Amino acid sequence: MNEQVALVTGGGRGIGREAALLLSAARTRVMVVSRSATELASVGLEYVVADLGTAEGCGLAIAETERRLGPPTRGFSFAR
């Protein structure tokens, strides 16, 4: 089985949110990352709150994606 895992930054709203939902509809496992827990929770997909402007935040996003969904095979950046 060829499981796709996408890490989508800035996925709590706007085009990032729409991209995450489209990827999920296409049977891709999606981890959405943003600094806002409220926005992320409303997307309805796996998410992690992280500040990707820091090394720690980037490490957390990758580690949580790997732990929950598997290693990311795709990355999409919509963060500002």
pLDDT score of 1: 38
Q: Is residue 70 predicted with pLDDT exceeding 80? A: yes
Q: How confident is the model at residue 2 (pLDDT cuts 50, 70, 90)?
A: low
Please state which CATH class domain 5-77 belongs to. alpha beta
- Residue by residue, what is the 3-state secondary structure of 34-52? ECCHHHHHHHCCEEEECCC
Q: Taking the domains of the chain in order of start, what are their residue ranges?
A: 5-77
Overall residue count recorded for the chain in this entry: 80
Q: What percentage of residues in the chain have a pLDDT greater than 90?
A: 80
User: Cα–Cα distance between 55 and 15 in angstroms, integer?
Assistant: 24
Global pTM value: 0.91
pLDDT tens per residue across span 32-61: 999 989 989 999 999 999 999 999 999 999
